[in-house]
Amino acid sequence: MKVLVLGGAGYIGSHMVKVLVSAGHEVVTVDSLVTGHRDAVVGGTFLCGDIGDRAFLSSVFAQSSFDGVMHFAAFSQVGESVRDPAKYYRNNCANALTLLDEMVAAGVRNIIFSSTAAIFGEPRYTPIDEDHPTAPINPYGRSKLFVEQALQDYDRAYGLRSVSLRYFNAAGADAAAGLGERHEPETHLIPLVLQVATGRREAIQVFGTDYPTPDGTCVRDYIHVSDLCNAHVLALEYLMSGGETTACNLGIGNGFSVGEVIHTVRKLTGRPIKVIAQGRREGDPAVLIANSGLARSRLGWSPHYTSLESMIGSAWEWELRRG
């Protein structure tokens, strides 16, 4: 396949490029490098540019005939989206529409869209399946839901078919390929705890220890980044074989608490982890677990990394490589 990967210099996008190139596919990566890293793109063709630049996108599509597009080029920090919603609506919504328009004009009819569990808002039940009501509680989640709804309309009007993949908590790394999480600032729990283990951070703050969970801390469904990438490949193959527009939740269907993550890091690294207990953060549900049955049945997907040790272990290898 010939695939255009947007945001391919970021955490998940760079792993996606590596998976596609390793499988023999032809890859063109586009990234503005606002948050991505050029050295994380480990193959294919790289083009520096912004998906909001219509002339640039038009030139990209004019140069190549793509089988499909994978869209990772969104901003993804919940707190930042609350502080600066304009930034999120401009990039995640307006720029996404520019992309869809250029795809239609170029006759590219398949797109895999990186969505999020944030579209569901406060869960009414768990595990969360695709029938769960969508009621996002922050601009980030609302921006992702907007694009999902636009994709449905573009399919009906223009025949642009899509698979929206709703990630729960991405984790892990392909340390052997020199790939891992490099967010600035870092907000994800596992890399933050690992930074405490290496001494790059003094302590880990735990927001809420009185939730109705076994140890009082929040429970989340983690999914290894390599398993996310495999789902994208299967989703594109599904569309190219005639599959209809759909949306699937991606998680392993099992939750791990903040306390379990910290305990596992201590066990794997043999290093002390200082914890500072804080009050609950507004909008943090006690439990978020995915029902990924639709991805398993429709796409033929199943996660390879299902233990917390395997996910944290790969991220620890990456953290050690970073020094």
Amino acid at 43: G
Phi, psi angle pair for 112, to nearest 5°? -105, 120
Instruction: Report residue 294 CA to chain centroid gap.
Output: 18
Q: How many CB atoms lie within 10 A of CB 180?
A: 24
Selecting among 11, 88, 140, 154, the annotated active-site residue is 140
Distance CA 137, CA 283 (A): 8
| DSSP state for residue 213 in the 8-state scheme | S
- Measured between alpha carbons, how far is 178 from 89 in angstroms, rounded to an integer? 32
SS3 at position 292 = coil
Q: What's the Cα-to-Cα distance from 22 to each of 17, 18, 28, 177, 293, rounded to whole Å?
A: 8, 6, 14, 11, 28
Residue type, 47: L
For the record, the structure tokens of 200 come out as 């790059």
Token pair belonging to 229: 């990438």
- The answer to whether the beta carbons of residues 290 and 149 sit under 8 Å apart is no
Answer whether 75's CB lies under 8 Å from 81's CB.
Answer: yes
Q: Does the active-site annotation cover 140?
A: yes
Could you give the residue numbers annotated as active site?
140
